Amino acid sequence: MSSRADILAAIRAAGPAELPLPDVTRLGAVRYPDLRDRFAKSVAEVGGRCIFVEGTLEEALAGIPEYAEARKVVALVPGVAKANVDLATVGDPHDLRDVDFCVLPAEVGVAENGACWIVRHGGANRAAAYLTQHLAVVVPSSALVHNLHEAYARIQIPSPGFAMWLSGPSKTADIEQALVIGAHGARSCTVLVTS
């Protein structure tokens, strides 16, 4: 027998009687009186920065020092003046090793954990989101939800494809529990909430 058949047979033979699947939708999950405020606090707690965009996106970006200093900028949202890399023309993701700043759109933002759902990331060149030194995520305020249950009810996971929750900058605490921001990925993460 093949390993596949062996394993499945062994699992079937182990046979616990079927148990019911509980209904997750009946859980009364946490909700917040002020969604925007809780989202901003969560982003700060995971080491990010949350900015509510009042004017144009570019004006908000200009206030981020890492953006102001950036030379090589990838943007997958319109209205980023300094964007100078078109991911569609990059043949090898290794060429993105020196990206300074990357701006990604998010479909959903979750108040309980500051996570943003990223689906548009450059596909074959999504390495830009990880190689970049600094990251900004743009999420409309109408896309904010209270908790992860509401979030999954709203999103469509791409298949085939790739998507992720991104919550703050890359971090580690592997050396004596000291929190260090900027492990392998972005050293900073700014979430820009647009109206």
Partner 1 sequence: MTDHAQRAASFVADDARLHWHDKAVWFVRNKRDVARSFVPEWEELRSLGSQIKAHTLSRLADYLEQFERNALAAGAKVHWARDAGEHNQIVHGILRERGVTRLVKSKSMLTEECHLNEHLEENGIEVVDTDLGERIVQLRREPPSHIVMPAIHLKKEEIGELFHERLGTPVGLSDPKQLTEAARGHLREKFLGAQAGLTGVNFAIASTGGVVVCTNEGNADLGTSLPPIHIACMGVEKLVPSPRELAVFLRLLARSATGQPITTYTSHFHGPRPGAEMHIVIVDHGRSAILAREEYRNSLKCIRCAACLNTCPVYRRSGGHSYGVSVAGPIGSILAPHVDAKKHAGLPFASSLCGSCSDVCPVRIDLHHQLFAWRGELAARGLVPVQKRIVSRIAAWVLARPWAYRLVGKLFRVVGPRVPNPWTRQRDLPPMPRESFRAQWRKRVQPR
Within residues 89-108, the interface with partner 1 by CB under 8 A covers: 93-94, 97
Please state, in angstroms and rounded to a whole number, the distance separating the CA atoms of residues 25 and 171: 32
Contact yes or no for 102/73 (Cβ under 8 A): yes
Please state, in angstroms and rounded to a whole number, the distance separating the CA atoms of residues 188 and 58: 18
Q: Specify the residue, 54 or 176, whose C-beta has the smaller distance to partner 1.
A: 176
User: Of 55, 88, 176, 195, which lies in the binding site for partner 1, with binding defined by CB under 8 A?
Assistant: 176
The answer to the question of residue 88 lying near partner 1 (CB under 8 A) is no
Contact yes or no for 77/194 (Cβ under 8 A): no
Q: Specify the residue, 13 or 54, whose C-beta has the smaller distance to partner 1.
A: 13
The answer to the question of residue 160 lying near partner 1 (CB under 8 A) is yes
Site for partner 1 in 51-80 (CB under 8 A): none
The residues pairing with 172 across neighbouring beta strands, listed in sequence order, are 180
Q: How far is the CB of 70 from partner 1 (least distance, A)?
A: 18
In 3-state terms, what secondary structure has residue 136?
Answer: strand
Site for partner 1 in 105-144 (CB under 8 A): 110, 112-115, 123-124, 126-127, 129-131
The answer to the question of residue 3 lying near partner 1 (CB under 8 A) is yes
Q: Specify the residue, 36 or 149, whose C-beta has the smaller distance to partner 1.
A: 149
What is the length of the chain?
195
Please state, in angstroms and rounded to a whole number, the distance separating the CA atoms of residues 116 and 47: 14
Contact yes or no for 44/190 (Cβ under 8 A): no
Q: Specify the residue, 177 or 195, whose C-beta has the smaller distance to partner 1.
A: 177
User: Of 44, 46, 51, 77, which lies in the binding site for partner 1, with binding defined by CB under 8 A?
Assistant: 46
Please state, in angstroms and rounded to a whole number, the distance separating the CA atoms of residues 185 and 163: 16
Scanning 49-57, 79-87, 136-144, 146-154 for contacts with partner 1 by CB under 8 A, the matching segment is 146-154
Q: Specify the residue, 167 or 194, whose C-beta has the smaller distance to partner 1.
A: 167
> CA angle at residue 91 from 57 to 65, to 5 degrees?
30
Please state, in angstroms and rounded to a whole number, the distance separating the CA atoms of residues 24 and 145: 17
The answer to the question of residue 37 lying near partner 1 (CB under 8 A) is no
